[in-house]
């Protein structure tokens, strides 16, 4: 996903010296023997395993390794969740406002004018402890390395799909058929050649990008088969890299003898699922699992703010100030890299959590991150989570979910995750929530057209299930509109 990259600078310049940094917590990536293997990365986090009881997770930084360990066979199963008390989706899907153009800011994103991003801006104190975090606008527009790589992967996949589609006779494509697809009155002459997909309703095309990196997809595409992908027909995988405004290709037939006119072709248009909500509502674990299940790419925007926060803390310790614009943030699978060093665990430290909600209130920090998040998600299928995805980053998202849970439940989840006391977690999350909800720049709020999903008392799997069902519903509605 995201990375900040510096504008070109002269070697040995004062700016370069100024930005030289000391990283206390992080290690060079190449020095990390404990780098998780791709198999581990492919496994969705199971929140139940993070509630394994006292001492299961001693420290915030250990939680991901412990999660991975807990994912291994033979580990303790999940405690039973209380039964569902109410249908959190009672309101169902609301009418979507499709009149808004992509990327339009409908929230309160306060992107300062250019003249506020110069030296004056650099002297402004950070919202939190008076530590300056330089405005991102005082350098050339930031770029995200991983974003470029990922977009390239997306484009490559799209090219492969295009190559396949290129062989399709125009008249078949116009009728929503794969080349040589059988008409109900005729049999296939070369069906074997077309049975390249298993008869599973739907599956992602090869590795599934996640959190910016490639992940293995579920073995059979998971149960989150998009609407319209009926048995015996294999839908074209989500058109990764496709322009969101471009209609996706028609489905390909998977089985000999399946009548193609019995049902109108299902079309899988590129889709963005926006998941917003307060601290500990389950956004990242749920978003990751939904993305993996559907073969979408997962974007953890909170990690980007956390990287900025970590950089600010490090700068404080090293008694220098880095320009946020020269920070380099990368995602490799589930790993987060800051200036090429792994910070996956470091950015989860309580101190960084607190600081991240402070730097996130800086409009200039937001401006650069939001811009990047928009660019990243403009092509392909995404599950993006944060605080302002549905309101500011992508108000045009096809599906918006606002995840909530009671303060007490969220604190309990966090306590199980970190091993810290419930009261401490409760106080911390309330403090962060308050700051996130009351800041001037893009405060946390539910988009009007978001589906609110109260996860109090819901098991993680139920939440994932609900969102996958909503995705299917949205796709069904989109297909109905088209046909």
Ligand X SMILES: Nc1ncnc2c1ncn2[C@@H]1O[C@H](COP(=O)(O)OP(=O)(O)OP(=O)(O)O)[C@@H](O)[C@H]1O
Site for ligand LCLUPRNS in 252-281 (CB under 6 A): 279
- Are the CB atoms for 297 and 336 separated by under 8 Å? no
* CB atoms near residue 163 (< 10 Å): 9
H or E element that contains 461 = helix 460-482
Helix, coil or strand: residue 439? coil
The two three-digit tokens of residue 363, written as one number: 């409009």
The 8-class DSSP code of residue 72 comes to S
DSSP 221: -
Which of ligand LCLUPRNS, ligand X, none sits in contact with 417, Cβ below 5 to 8 A by type?
A: ligand X
User: Using CB under 6 A, which of the segments 9-17, 65-73, 381-389, 449-457 binds ligand LCLUPRNS?
Assistant: 381-389
Which one, 396 or 436, has the nearer CB to ligand LCLUPRNS?
A: 436
Select from ligand LCLUPRNS, ligand X, none the partner in contact with residue 386, using the beta carbon and a kind-dependent cut-off of 5 to 8 Å. Answer: ligand LCLUPRNS
As annotated, the binding site includes: 277-285
* Annotated binding residues for ATP: 277-285
Using the rule CB under 6 A, give the single segment among 206-214, 258-266, 288-296, 384-392 that binds ligand LCLUPRNS.
384-392
Neighbours of 179 (CB within 10 A): 19
Among 126, 315, 388, 425, interactor with ligand LCLUPRNS by CB under 6 A? 388
Q: How far is the CB of 215 from ligand X (least distance, A)?
A: 17
Angstrom distance (rounded) from CA 63 to CA 71: 12
> Which pairing describes strands 272-276 and 382-386: parallel, antiparallel, or unpaired?
parallel
Span interacting with ligand LCLUPRNS, options 125-133, 141-149, 320-328, 353-361, rule CB under 6 A: 353-361
Q: Does 382 bind ligand LCLUPRNS (CB under 6 A)?
A: no
**391 lines the binding site for ligand LCLUPRNS (CB under 6 A):** no
Which of the listed partners (ligand LCLUPRNS, ligand X, none) does 42 bind, with a CB threshold of 5 to 8 Å by partner kind? none
Contact partner, 274, from ligand X, ligand LCLUPRNS, none, Cβ < 5-8 Å per class? none
| CA torsion, ordered 466, 372, 120, 327, to nearest 10 deg | 100
Contact 144, 373 (CB under 8 A): no
Residues lying near ligand X in the complex (CB under 6 A) are found at: 45, 47, 50, 277, 279-286, 302, 413-414, 417, 455, 458-460, 463
One-character DSSP codes across 153-210: HHHHHHHHHHHHHHTS-HHHHHTT--TTPPPTTS--SSHHHHTTS-SSS---SSSEEE
**Partners of 400 in the beta sheet?**
274
Select 272 or 464, whichever has its Cβ closest to ligand X.
464
Instruction: Verify binding: residue 467, ligand LCLUPRNS, rule CB under 6 A.
Output: no
> Which x/- pattern, by CB under 6 A, does the window 304-323 give for ligand LCLUPRNS?
-xx-----------------
227 binds, among ligand X, ligand LCLUPRNS, none (CB under 5 to 8 A by kind): none
**Cβ closer to ligand X: 248 or 347?**
347
Classify each residue of 410-424 as buried b or exposed e, where b means 16 or more C-beta atoms within 10 Å of its C-beta: bbbbbbbbbbbeeee
Q: Which is nearer to ligand LCLUPRNS, 356 or 377 (CB)?
A: 356
Closest CA to 275 of 161, 404, 406: 404
Q: Give residues in contact with ligand LCLUPRNS (CB under 6 A).
A: 279, 301-302, 305-306, 356-357, 360, 386-388, 432, 436
């Amino acid at each position: 996903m995201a990375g900040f990259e510096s504008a070109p600078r002269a070697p040995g310049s004062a700016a370069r010296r100024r930005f030289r940094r000391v990283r206390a917590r992080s290690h060079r990536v190449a020095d990390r023997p404990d780098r998780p293997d791709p198999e581990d990365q492919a496994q969705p986090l199971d929140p139940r395993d993070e509630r394994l009881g006292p001492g299961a997770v001693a420290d915030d930084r250990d939680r991901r390794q412990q999660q991975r360990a807990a994912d291994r066979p033979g580990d303790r199963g999940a405690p039973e969740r209380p039964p569902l008390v109410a249908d959190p989706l009672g309101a169902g899907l609301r009418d979507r406002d499709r009149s808004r153009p992509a990327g339009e800011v409908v929230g309160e994103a306060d992107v300062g004018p250019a003249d506020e991003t110069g030296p004056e801006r650099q002297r402004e104190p950070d919202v939190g402890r008076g530590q300056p975090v330089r405005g991102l606008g005082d350098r050339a527009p930031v770029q995200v390395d991983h974003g470029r790589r990922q977009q390239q992967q997306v484009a490559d996949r799209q090219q492969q799909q295009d190559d396949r589609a290129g062989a399709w006779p125009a008249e078949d494509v116009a009728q929503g058929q794969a080349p040589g697809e059988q008409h109900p009155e005729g049999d296939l002459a070369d069906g074997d050649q077309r049975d390249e997909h298993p008869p599973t309703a739907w599956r992602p095309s090869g590795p599934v990008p996640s959190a910016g990196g490639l992940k293995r997809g579920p073995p059979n595409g998971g149960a989150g088969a998009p609407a319209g992908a009926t048995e015996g027909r294999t839908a074209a995988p989500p058109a990764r890299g496709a322009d969101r405004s471009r209609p996706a290709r028609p489905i390909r037939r998977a089985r000999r003898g399946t009548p193609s006119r019995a049902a109108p072709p299902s079309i899988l248009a590129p889709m963005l699922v926006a998941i917003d909500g307060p601290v500990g509502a389950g956004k990242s674990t749920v978003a990751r699992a939904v993305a993996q299940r559907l073969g979408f790419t997962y974007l953890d925007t909170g990690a980007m703010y956390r990287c900025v926060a970590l950089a600010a803390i490090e700068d404080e310790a090293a008694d220098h100030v880095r320009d946020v614009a020269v920070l380099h943030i990368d995602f490799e699978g589930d790993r987060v890299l800051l200036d090429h060093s792994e910070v996956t665990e470091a950015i989860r430290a309580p101190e960084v959590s607190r600081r991240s909600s402070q730097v996130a209130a800086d409009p200039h920090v937001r401006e650069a991150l939001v811009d990047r998040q928009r660019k990243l998600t403009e092509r392909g299928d995404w599950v993006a989570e944060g605080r302002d995805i549905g309101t500011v980053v992508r108000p045009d998202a096809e599906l918006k979910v606002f995840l909530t849970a009671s303060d007490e439940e969220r604190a309990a989840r966090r306590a199980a995750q970190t091993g810290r006391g419930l009261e401490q977690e409760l106080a911390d999350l309330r403090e962060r929530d308050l700051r996130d909800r009351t800041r001037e720049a893009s405060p946390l709020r539910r988009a009007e057209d978001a589906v609110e999903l109260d996860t109090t008392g819901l098991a993680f799997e139920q939440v994932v299930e609900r969102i996958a069902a909503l995705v299917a519903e949205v796709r069904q509605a989109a297909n109905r509109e088209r046909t």
